[in-house]
Structure 1
Amino acid sequence: MKPRTNKRRSHGKPRHAATYAPAPRSSSRHARKSPLVGVLLVMLAGLLFVGMLVGLGQCTAPESAPKNAEYVSPYDWSSLERTGDRLAYRPGGSLKSQVGVDVSDHQGFIDWNAVAADGIDFAFVRIGNRGYTQGGLSADARFDENVRGAQAAGLQTGAYFFSQAVNTAEAVEEAEFVLAQLNGRALELPVAFDHEPVADPNGRANNLDKGTLTAAAIAFCERLEAAGYKTMIYGNNGDMARYDRTALGNRPIWFAEYDAAVPRARFDFALWQYTNGGTVAGISTSVDLNLRMTEAL
């Protein structure tokens, strides 16, 4: 498994054009013999006009547009501790996290007892995937073996499905496929909907619009929830930007970002997949490691 800009409307002050008509000639003997009075009257009129413009500007100048509220993470990342490739979140010195793996048949045979003995608390196991060109559904060759082994070793276990659905009908088909593979098996953790664009330009689901992708995710999750399973949405910053996150409701997010000192998500998440190069006893290949925020998931 594996990052919008808001334009602020500018408000300019209106331009005011002033025109002056020449003063009519006066036949007044006093006006002819007292040019200073005329000059003073013109100056006074000018001052009054300037004052009027200033006052008008003060009355009509728009207030500054409010700034967009900054996202504030619910986590204090200064409390993140690292030991080798393992992370721990300890706000106030109290442990509020667990470390887990996510695996597929790419990891080959896994000794789950050795995994548990190496400090791993939970596992997400791939159930299967939809092909990204032809669209066929396939079960992960080691799903049943992995989910049984992880649960037998005492690990809390969830699952994920790699979707390439292009509409809600295919998403529901994928959910039905997942339910058939689970065959009523209880899971301690959610089933994740993992929909990503692929490197192949012929990827059938690479260019879904936001509305279609969001509707597909909701359809997948609702079918599984109706069967009694919890659900979540997986993705990195780019993947999550493809969704209408508000429409996804309060379903938790499994956020992917590798090799970052702290996660740079601008949204809340419950699980952080922080590396794809982890080393765990009992697994012969590199493996994804995840930090689970225990008070969120």
Structure 2
Amino acid sequence: MNKKINRKIEKRNSGKAYRFSFFIVLSIFLLMVIATSAYLNLTEEPERIYVSLPYKTDELNQILYRDKIIPVHKEVELNKYDKSSFYMSGDRMGYNDGRIKSIFGIDVSEFQGNIDWQKVKNDGVEFAMLRAGFRGYGGGVINIDREFLNNLKEARKNNIDVGVYFYSQAISVEEAREEARVVIGWVMNYDIQYPVVFDWEFTGDPIARTENIDPSVLNDCANAFCQEIANAGYTPVIYFYRDLAYLYYDLSKINSYDFWLAEYNEIPTFHYDFKMLQFTNKGRVEGIHDGEDDVDLNISFIDYSRQTFSELN
């Protein structure tokens, strides 16, 4: 009987000792977690902006975009548009904060076919950005857009302000300057109210000559094109979408010129300032394929027809 009691006491004591040891280990673990958390909270970490959320305009050190950490360019003007002042009317965006009122426009190329510009005007279009031409991404040959001159003449005949863009595939400063000079030659005998735009984009084709361009070369190409355009008396602008702006361009190197942003959200989230916004590529406008086909829609926050490049800067 005494042996059985002793064994019971031993089992009871060993269970208590096990539980005591478990609580000691658990307490140490919790203390380590608390200490680690406190250390991390004390460690300085630059504030980030998640650009998928509505933009902020406070001082930030980093941007988180597509899981990449990008330094904020302090010298580049921020996006200070009032997000509550954007509105949609059907498929068309507008902006009015009482100080800035947007102007509605389109951008077109030969892919929109033969456009009835009177119908376009009657449908409320105030300005049009016309593709002047493009450089091939394979052989690098410069081509004029087959509808460019007709679009230019007909849009102006119907009192629509026009600007032009060139689809660049330049891989050197020399090629960018060549593109600008060609465009200047095409437009010099016409009245251009809106900007002349450097539109460099990746093609998505792995064999494209531009596929592995160094970002510093891209910055240099944009500046070279725009400098030629400005020297000829036109207003230069740089077009980009967010991937290109955040991941390839160094905006601090090209911020002498206005930006034309492509972002297809109800409220643009882009962190930096832009003067034109392409807000959809699926718009409808009377006079373009009978209003039954997609066309890019834009708003401008500046009436470029009333200001020159020197006045803007």
What amino acid does structure 2 have at the position aligned with 1:151? R
* Distance verdict in 2 for CA 1:281–1:66, change over 3 Å: closer
2:210 is the alignment partner of 1:202: no
Q: TM-score, normalised by structure 2?
A: 0.71
The correspondence for 1:292, drawn from 284, 291, 300, is 300
Higher helix proportion, which one? 2
Q: Distance in 1 between matches of 2:100 and 2:215?
A: 37
* Distance verdict in 2 for CA 1:65–1:149, change over 3 Å: same
* Distance verdict in 2 for CA 1:175–1:295, change over 3 Å: closer
Map 1:131-150 → 2, pairs under 5 A: 131-150=136-155
What amino acid does structure 1 have at the position aligned with 2:112? Q
Residue in 1 aligned with 2:258? 252
Residue in 1 aligned with 2:82? 76
Structure 2 residue matching 1:128: 3-state secondary structure: strand
Shift of 1:209: 1.2
Report if aligned partners of 1:274, 1:290 keep a CA contact under 8 Å in 2.
Answer: yes
Larger radius of gyration: 1
Residue in 1 aligned with 2:234? 229
The correspondence for 1:263, drawn from 238, 257, 268, is 268
Q: Distance in 2 between matches of 1:175 and 1:235?
A: 17
* Distance verdict in 2 for CA 1:87–1:67, change over 3 Å: closer
Report if aligned partners of 2:79, 2:274 keep a CA contact under 8 Å in 1.
Answer: no
Shift of 1:95: 6.3
RMSD, matched Cα = 2.0
Deviations 1:114-139 (A, max 9, x none): 11111111000000000001111100
What amino acid does structure 1 have at the position aligned with 2:160? L
The correspondence for 1:120, drawn from 118, 125, 128, is 125
Residue in 2 aligned with 1:46? none
Q: TM-score, normalised by structure 1?
A: 0.74
Shift of 1:184: 3.3
The correspondence for 2:159, drawn from 148, 154, 157, is 154
The correspondence for 2:190, drawn from 185, 189, 198, is 185
* Distance verdict in 2 for CA 1:66–1:188, change over 3 Å: same
Choose 244-253 or 264-273, whichever is displaced more: 244-253
Report if aligned partners of 1:196, 1:206 keep a CA contact under 8 Å in 2.
Answer: no
Residue in 1 aligned with 2:97? 91
What amino acid does structure 2 have at the position aligned with 1:292? S
Structure 2 residue matching 1:294: 3-state secondary structure: coil
Deviations 1:47-80 (A, max 9, x none): xxxxxxxxxxxxxxx9957747238531111111
Shift of 1:229: 0.8
Report if aligned partners of 2:168, 2:179 keep a CA contact under 8 Å in 1.
Answer: yes
Q: Distance in 2 between matches of 1:183 and 1:250?
A: 23
Map 1:39-78 → 2, pairs under 5 A: 64=44, 67=47, 69-70=59-60, 73-78=79-84
Find runs of 4+ consecutive structure 1 residues off by over 3 angstroms.
62-68
Q: Distance in 2 between matches of 1:295 and 1:176?
A: 25
What amino acid does structure 2 have at the position aligned with 1:251? Y
